[in-house]
Structures are given as structure tokens and as C-alpha cells.
């Protein structure tokens, strides 16, 4: 049996309805990618040293995430390129890092 609920009755909606706070945010970890998807605009190769040099550091990204969480954000989408090309994030979940910090 499926139940339905009006969006106004959803707990998260109530939490944000009277406030002007970010609900979530996206962070592009890298512009590099090891794929060559036809539909994608990312065209920096995975070994592109210039692209890698311009990426934010892990600590800079975590600082942004902490600030967004402090403002009320409840989720983060990690994007790229291919986010798993970042070894500092590939095996270390960002949520555990900035929520527990």
C-alpha cells in the first residue's frame, strides 16, 4: 500500500518553509575525467596537470562544506568531471568529514 503526503506536511519542508537557507549545495571536485562521454561538456583528460593544479584542496572543499552545513544545508552533491579521480575523496566520505568536524 502506498501512502501520499502533501509537501507542506513533509518535515523537511516545514524546516525550510519560513527560512531563507540553502537546502543543499554542489561541489565540483575536478574538471578532469577518464571517460569521453558524448553528452558531457567536461573535456579535461584525467592526467591534465593544469586542471589538477587549479582544483581546490581537500581542506578548502571541506571548509566550504562546513560553512554550508552551518548555514543549514542538509545535503551535498559531489560532481566533476569524475570525482573519483580525487584520491583524497575517493575513499573518504565527505559527509563523515565535515559533519564530525
Q: Where are the domains of the chain?
A: 20-100
Do 81 and 30 meet the contact criterion of CB atoms below 8 Å apart? yes
User: Is pTM beyond 0.75 here?
Assistant: no
Q: Convert the pLDDT of each residue in 4-57 to its tens digit.
A: 878 777 777 776 677 777 888 999 999 999 988 888 888 799 999 999 999 999
Q: Convert the pLDDT of each residue in 42-96 to its tens digit.
A: 879 999 999 999 999 989 998 998 899 888 888 888 888 888 898 887 665 554 5
The pLDDT assigned to 94 comes to 54
- Rounded to whole angstroms, the Cα distance separating 56 from 3 reads 44
The pLDDT assigned to 53 comes to 95
Amino acid at each position: 500500500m502506498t501512502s501520499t503526503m502533501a509537501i507542506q506536511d513533509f518535515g523537511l519542508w516545514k524546516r525550510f518553509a519560513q527560512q531563507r537557507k540553502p537546502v543543499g549545495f554542489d561541489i565540483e571536485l575536478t574538471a578532469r575525467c577518464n571517460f569521453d562521454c558524448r553528452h558531457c561538456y567536461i573535456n579535461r583528460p584525467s592526467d591534465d596537470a593544469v586542471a589538477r593544479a587549479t582544483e581546490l584542496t581537500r581542506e578548502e572543499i571541506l571548509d566550504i562544506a562546513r560553512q554550508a552545513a552551518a548555514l543549514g544545508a542538509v545535503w551535498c552533491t559531489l560532481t566533476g568531471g569524475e570525482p573519483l579521480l580525487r584520491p583524497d575523496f575517493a575513499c573518504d566520505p565527505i559527509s563523515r568529514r565535515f559533519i564530525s568536524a
